[in-house]
């Protein structure tokens, strides 16, 4: 599935999770799914625990995270 198609699964609605990016209008914020995956849960474990989700939803969350990490340049942070 192409990234644009995957990213269409990410929705933002002020009435759902305070406007945070979520999966298909469901109450699964992208950040939550990325945290589950980065904590060591496998895709199969996440899908078993959250039956509303599909494998492409997790791919969409990862694609969204990758898109957000694109930067033009970085500035050093000073204290």
pLDDT, tens only, 20-79: 999 999 999 999 999 999 999 999 999 999 999 999 999 999 999 999 888 767 677 776
pLDDT value, residue 32: 97
pLDDT value, residue 62: 96
Q: Which residue has tokens 């199969």?
A: 44
pTM over 0.75: yes
Helices (H) and strands (E) counted in the chain, each on its own, are 4, 2
Distances (CA, A) of 23 to 8, 26, 48, 74: 9, 6, 16, 29
CATH number for the domain formed by residue range(s) 3-68:
1.10.10.10
pLDDT value, residue 40: 96
Find the mean pLDDT for residues 10-27.
95
Query: Measuring CA to CA, which residue among 5, 2, 10, 3 is closest to residue 61?
Result: 10
Whole-number Å distance between alpha carbons of 22 and 24: 6
Domain definitions of the chain by residue range: 3-68
19 versus 69: the higher-pLDDT residue is 19
């Amino acid at each position: 599935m192409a990234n644009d198609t995957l990213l269409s699964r990410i929705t933002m609605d002020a009435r759902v999770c305070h406007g945070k990016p979520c999966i298909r209008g469901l109450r699964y914020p992208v950040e939550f799914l990325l945290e589950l995956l980065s904590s060591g849960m496998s895709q199969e474990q996440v899908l078993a625990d959250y039956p509303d989700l599909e494998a492409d939803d997790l791919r969409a969350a990862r694609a969204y995270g990758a898109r957000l990490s694109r930067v033009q340049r970085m500035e050093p942070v000073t204290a």
